[in-house]
Amino acid sequence: MAEYPYKLYDYPDSGNGYKVRLILNHLQLAYSYQAVDILAGETRQADFLALNPNGRIPVLQLADGTCLAESNAILWYLGDTTHLVPTDRLQRARVLQWMFFEQYNHEPNIATSRFILKHTEINEERQQALDQKRPAGYAALDVMEQHLANNEFFVGEFSIADIALFAYTHVAEEGGFKLASYSAIQRWIDAISSHPNHCPINTISQA
Amino acid sequence: MAEYPYKLYDYPDSGNGYKVRLILNHLQLAYSYQAVDILAGETRQADFLALNPNGRIPVLQLADGTCLAESNAILWYLGDTTHLVPTDRLQRARVLQWMFFEQYNHEPNIATSRFILKHTEINEERQQALDQKRPAGYAALDVMEQHLANNEFFVGEFSIADIALFAYTHVAEEGGFKLASYSAIQRWIDAISSHPNHCPINTISQA
């Protein structure tokens, strides 16, 4: 484990992994990086399953070797007690509300469509999946737009809920979702992207 | 809002709603109950969308009228600072890890299959959905079984992670998932069901 307090097992194009890279950058925490080739099935091999029996990246390994999975749980682990998680009880639950929304309504539609379009050959089954995910993904964007029309960020003044939802929203067009009519989402994307500690997706920094 | 500190908008057969009813029972918190007919589209009507723009139950309304959505965020809201959420930083993140696993890997396969089988007429499209969800649901049960073979509960000594995963696991057979070979899961179901503050699904108690 050597000199870095954290080791991130990740796939560079993953938005779920990007959430973790982004918070590490915001908090200026150093980490070592192990790329895992999900397309080659590396997350299903025994050595990776020993880190996360659920066979998914990202996985954050702590200095003592302990592994934590699920991008949004990692965000909470790193963000709690910092300015990225509010202290008020209801606000904290609201952060989680948006993060569960992200994993249930947003990621399975928008991220998965992006994955199909970027990394697979389209066949009839995949086209059918895209067709099903399209209205559900737009419904998630509609909910976000409605909230952001009246709020600068999802909760308070920028939190891990924003990081979680930013990861796949800002590349939603790669999943076939047009953002042109979502003016509040665009304003929010611009605000997050212009933060001094921001880094683009695919950035692998060791701080 | 009257005499009860909480009001739960819910559908009695929903496992997501049951999570909230179960924690309210564990903590012996009184609540009023508003049944919402999801089959009749009531969650898509304007008066409900004013409570939760994402159009889903359960919704917990606080005494001041504030609404909180997403079953697992509600579990955190009610459970944090009680014996149902650990105090250790890593353990707290581990609770969230299992709850995000529940919403991403478990619920969309097991709960959705149960819903299709219980509440819809099977057509070709729905049969196709069931066929896709079957292996993914069993994969989630396999991950649970592996963990419970070496741990009495998901995190520590019974937490909201157990409540979240119990809700749809104990009725997985209604979704077509056979639990006979999952001995650790069965032991865990029995342990939870025998707690003095337990209540069965469909229970609507006002404590």
A interface with B, Cβ–Cβ < 8 A, is: 53-54, 62, 66, 68-74, 76-77, 80, 89-90, 92-94, 96-97, 99-101, 103-105, 107-108, 143, 146-147
Interatomic CA distance for residues B196 and B26, integer angstroms: 9
- B123 and B177 belong to one structural domain: yes
Beta pairing partners, B31: B6
Tell me: do B123 and B163 sit in the same domain. Answer: yes
Q: Does residue A199 lie within any of the structural domains?
A: no
The reply to whether A1 falls in a domain is: no
Smallest Cβ–Cβ distance between A96 and the set B54, B73, B93 belongs to B73
Are B72 and B19 contacting, i.e. CB atoms less than 8 angstroms apart? yes
Of the three residues B79, B108, B136, the one that is the final residue of a domain is B79
Number of domains in chain B: 2
Which of B79, B110, B127 is the endpoint of a domain? B79
Binary contact (A77, B69; C-beta < 8 A): no
Mark whether B184 and B97 lie in a shared domain. yes
Over residues B57-95, the pLDDT tens digits come to 999 999 999 999 999 999 999 999 999 999 999 999 999
Tell me if B104 and A101 make a contact (CB, 8 A cut-off). Answer: no
Give me the amino acid identity at A115: F
Q: How close does chain B come to A55, measured CA to CA in Å?
A: 10
Residue A151 lies inside a defined structural domain of this protein: yes
Q: Are residues A111 and A52 in the same domain?
A: no
Give the model's confidence band at B206: pLDDT under 50 very low, under 70 low, under 90 confident, else very high: low
DSSP structure string for A17-32? HHHHHHHHHHTT--EE
Query: Is the Cβ pair B103, A100 closer than 8 Å?
Result: yes
Residue A131 belongs to a domain: yes
Q: Is residue A56 part of a domain?
A: yes
Of B97, B106, B140, the closest CA to residue A68 belongs to B97
CATH number at residue A13: 3.40.30.10
Q: Which two tokens stand for residue A146?
A: 């409605």
Say whether both B122 and B69 belong to one domain. no
- Give the span between the Cα atoms of A18 and A7, in whole angstroms: 14
Query: Of A79, A102, A128, which residue constitutes the final position of a domain?
Result: A79
Total beta-carbon pairs less than 8 A apart between chain A and chain B:
93
Helix ranges (DSSP H) in chain B:
15-26, 46-49, 71-79, 89-101, 112-119, 124-148, 160-169, 183-193
* Min Cα separation A80/chain B (Å): 9
**Residue B156 within a domain:** yes
Do B96 and B25 share a domain, yes or no? Answer: no
CA-CA distances (angstroms) from residue B192 to B1, B31, B106, B157, B175?
32, 22, 18, 11, 20
Q: Which of B23, B71, B100 should we substitute to test contact with A (largest number of A Cβ atoms within 10 Å)?
A: B100
Same domain, A116 and A146: yes
Identify the closest residue of chain A to B98 by CA–CA distance.
A70
Indicate whether B112 and B47 sit together in one domain. no
pLDDT band at B1 (very low <50, low <70, confident <90, very high): very low
Here the tokens at position A112 are 């998965």
B204: in domain: no
Give chain A positions within 8 Å (CB) of B105.
54
| From A53, A68, A90, residue closest to B146, measured CB to CB | A53
Check A54 against B101: CB less than 8 A apart. yes
**Entry pTM:** 0.97
Which residues span the domain enclosing B164? 89-193
Say if CB B67 and CB B59 are below 8 A apart: yes
Among A53, A70, A90, beta carbon nearest to B100: A70
Same domain, B63 and B101: no
Same domain? For A184 and A97 the reply is yes
The tokens describing B147, both together, are 């963990």
Tens-level pLDDT at each residue, chain A (207 residues)? 457 899 999 999 999 999 999 999 999 999 999 999 999 999 999 999 999 999 999 999 999 999 999 999 999 999 999 999 999 999 999 999 999 999 999 999 999 999 999 999 999 999 999 999 999 999 999 999 999 999 999 999 999 999 999 999 999 999 999 999 999 999 999 999 999 999 999 888 765
- Are B177 and B115 members of one domain? yes
Cβ distance B13 to B201 under 8 Å? yes
Asked whether residue B198 is assigned to any structural domain, the reply reads no
B94 and B179 assigned to the same domain: yes
